[in-house]
Structure 1
Amino acid sequence: MGNMNLQKRRFLSFFPTEVIVDERENGEAEQLYALSDNQGIIFTKDEILPYLEKVMKFYQMSEMDEWIKKENIKQEFYTFISSQTHLSFPEHGEDKYGLPYPQYRQKSFSSERNWSCKCEWCGIRVSSKEKEFYYTLNDSTLNLGIERACSTDCATLIWKEAARNFVYARGWQDFFCID
């Protein structure tokens, strides 16, 4: 497959418009589609055929499915990055990002009762008898439930693992510098 560049034209949009046609030999109606613009005006055959010929040529190219898959992953990634308000992604050169900065909270053990929790990273049991603080992580975007950590180091490692898993699950590893 040759080198291709995606150039979107914002001024020309095609929308499928359902049309029921009663032209079958047995008299049954058939559901077909016409293409209309963003105002609902259906394109004439002379207007649309040049585009349809190019569309068919595009979809018949070899390896097109793989190219489309890659372009869609890229578009999903950039849509995600531009919509994020609570995660911060450091930039690492052109079109590369670092994993989002860790977000965790330092929590005080309640002085009213003795209790403990297990660090989700290293497995150490953290007790209110021994420490004043523990750390929690919770982020629905990265599919992190409420995770507990014994230290900022462990909290950071939990966060990085969740962020890596999130990136790889979506096929976005080419957009990140993952240490």
Structure 2
Amino acid sequence: MTTTDKKELLPEQCEGLLQALRARFEKNMNRHEGLDWANVQTKLEAHAEKLWSLHEMEQTGGEPDVVAYESKTGEYIFYDCSAESPKGRRSVCYDHEALESRKEHKPQNSAMEMAAAMGIELLTEEQYRALQNLGSFDLKTSSWVKTPASVRKLGGALFCDRRYDTVFVYHNGAESYYAARGFRGALSV
């Protein structure tokens, strides 16, 4: 971890992250039409713990960007917007239970545990589809998505990708992991 145990960034890390987020925001206005970066930055600066989570998203290759504003809560919603599933979050099974169930060749981590440690949530299938309306993502990779308890109880987990200009939802054993499968996260600020 490049930050302190308190999940705080150094001033120069904050500055660098805000510059990267602003550049991405301005380059991809189609993801957040009608929103103003100054308002986003003010909100971010008031929530240092969220900046830490965004930094973790950035460090693992997620390229987080604003995709929505919730007027009821006053929150900006960030998703991982990297073209492919974030490189620093691949080769992971779905959750801790799945990780513990593997007898051999265990991955180093699980998607749910990594997301929790980063302070983010896995995208739901609905959020994943909304992301795909903003561009074409996961053309070569796939991403675990939040799995309904009824599916997980039976040992499965869901993942998505985009092939043939169509978003597909698949199932796999939750303990499976592949070099081309990671997860995408969401963060509300």
Structure-1-length-normalised TM-score? 0.25
| Structure number with higher relative contact order (C-alpha < 8 Å, ≥ 6 residues apart) | 2
TM-score, with normalisation over the residues of structure 2?
0.24
Q: Which has the larger radius of gyration?
A: 1
